[in-house]
């Protein structure tokens, strides 16, 4: 702040009243407050500049000393001129500038700023550290079932991230205290981890529900069968009803993704009849002999 005029920082004239200075500070502090600008380091720095300017001008005695040239914009003492000697000596041991002031008039303010403005007889004040954002790609099944994965931070440090069961694509996990360190003993910021779920070759997800296409043979469709189907928690045996057609949907209750509490989605299997890659002579001969197959029209009622 030494090279910046605090009046310019707050946007007020040098003859502004203390009330005008206080109002200007409130407006700017709310605009650039770190809690209202998460992950924005420029706003964080601007908030520090605004707070330092008010620390100087919000105190009438400090403001007077700055206006008289006794201290600079950072609050540091300027070299004393000879005609200030009597004034300087008059302060003695009871220096009026060591009092607790500045932000104390905000102690009862009903807004987000009040918790930041407590003084302990020194110029600095506590400030929460900046939140840091990261992106973590995870496998589909890790997001559904939960897992622990490690990310490497830009400074080379590592951070273990616990992925909760049922995590969604785009969901942000907050790791308290894993962001930047706070100023003047303030609490550390948080690490905000955005989850990016990789697509799965078989499963699809809609909310808590999981779906997939389940291939079955012609004989399984005609006669019915028990087949093994995959689920996120492992394979299960499924009964295929006799006479099933492609497109028929079977529901596996509770085999989807977990939600809050005991809530869990379902898995939906869409049956898909798949013929063998090579049609053998027996199947070909059956199709030729099957009279009903020649009269049945599966496209009846289908219109463009």
Look at residue 123 and tell me if it is in a domain: no
Look at residue 28 and tell me if it is in a domain: yes
Q: What is the pTM of this model?
A: 0.58
Look at residue 1 and tell me if it is in a domain: no
Same domain, 20 and 78: yes
Same domain, 238 and 267: yes
Same domain, 51 and 94: yes
Same domain, 142 and 103: no
Cβ proximity of 227 and 220 under 8 Å: yes
CATH number of domain containing 47: 1.10.287.110
The C-alpha atoms of residue 251 and residue 267 are separated, in whole angstroms, by: 6
Same domain, 109 and 166: no
Cβ proximity of 266 and 255 under 8 Å: yes
Residues in the chain: 304
Where are the alpha helices (H) located in 17-111, listed in sequence order? 18-32, 41-57, 60-67, 85-91
Please choose, from the candidates 120, 155, 103, 107, the residue with its C-alpha nearest in 3D space to the C-alpha of residue 134.
155
Look at residue 99 and tell me if it is in a domain: yes
Domain that holds residue 27: 6-116
Look at residue 203 and tell me if it is in a domain: no
Rounded to the nearest 5 degrees, what angle is found at the Cα of 33, between the Cα atoms of 32 and 34? 110
Same domain, 70 and 142: no
Same domain, 102 and 152: no
pLDDT in tens, the chain (304 residues): 334 799 999 999 999 999 999 889 888 988 888 777 777 778 878 888 888 888 889 888 889 888 988 888 877 777 655 444 444 444 444 444 334 444 444 444 344 555 445 443 444 567 788 888 999 999 999 999 999 999 888 778 898 999 999 999 999 999 998 888 887 778 888 889 999 999 999 999 999 999 999 999 999 999 999 999 999 999 999 999 999 999 999 999 999 999 988 899 999 999 999 999 999 999 999 989 988 888 888 888 888 7
Look at residue 121 and tell me if it is in a domain: no
Specify the number of domains making up the chain. 3
b/e map 83-107, b = 16+ CB within 10 Å:
eeeeeeeeeeeeeeeeeebbbeebe
């Amino acid at each position: 702040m030494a090279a910046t005029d605090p009046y310019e920082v707050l946007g007020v004239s040098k003859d502004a009243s203390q009330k005008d200075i206080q109002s200007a500070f409130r407006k700017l502090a709310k605009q650039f407050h770190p809690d209202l600008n998460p992950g924005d380091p420029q706003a964080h720095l601007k908030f520090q500049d605004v707070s330092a300017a008010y620390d100087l001008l919000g105190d009438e005695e400090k403001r007077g000393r700055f206006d008289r040239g006794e201290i600079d914009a950072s609050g540091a003492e300027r070299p004393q001129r000879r005609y200030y000697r009597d004034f300087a000596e008059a302060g003695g041991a009871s220096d009026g500038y060591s009092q607790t002031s500045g932000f104390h008039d905000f102690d009862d303010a009903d807004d987000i700023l009040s918790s930041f403005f407590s003084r302990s007889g020194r110029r600095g004040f506590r400030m929460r550290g900046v939140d840091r954002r990261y992106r973590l790609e995870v496998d589909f099944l890790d997001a559904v079932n939960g897992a622990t994965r490690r990310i490497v931070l830009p400074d080379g440090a590592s951070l273990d991230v616990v992925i909760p069961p049922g995590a969604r694509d785009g969901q942000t996990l907050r790791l308290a205290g894993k962001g930047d360190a706070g100023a003047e003993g303030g609490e550390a910021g948080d690490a905000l981890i955005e989850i990016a779920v990789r697509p799965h070759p078989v499963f699809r997800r809609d909310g808590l529900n999981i779906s997939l296409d389940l291939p079955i043979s012609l004989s399984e469709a005609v006669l019915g069968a028990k087949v093994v189907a995959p689920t996120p928690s492992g394979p299960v045996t499924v009964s295929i009803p006799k006479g099933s057609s492609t497109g028929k949907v079977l529901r596996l209750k509770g085999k989807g993704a977990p939600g809050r509490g005991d809530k869990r989605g379902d898995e939906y299997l869409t049956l898909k009849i798949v013929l063998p890659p090579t049609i053998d002579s027996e199947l070909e001969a059956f199709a030729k002999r099957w009279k009903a197959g020649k009269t049945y029209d599966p496209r009846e009622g289908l219109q463009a």
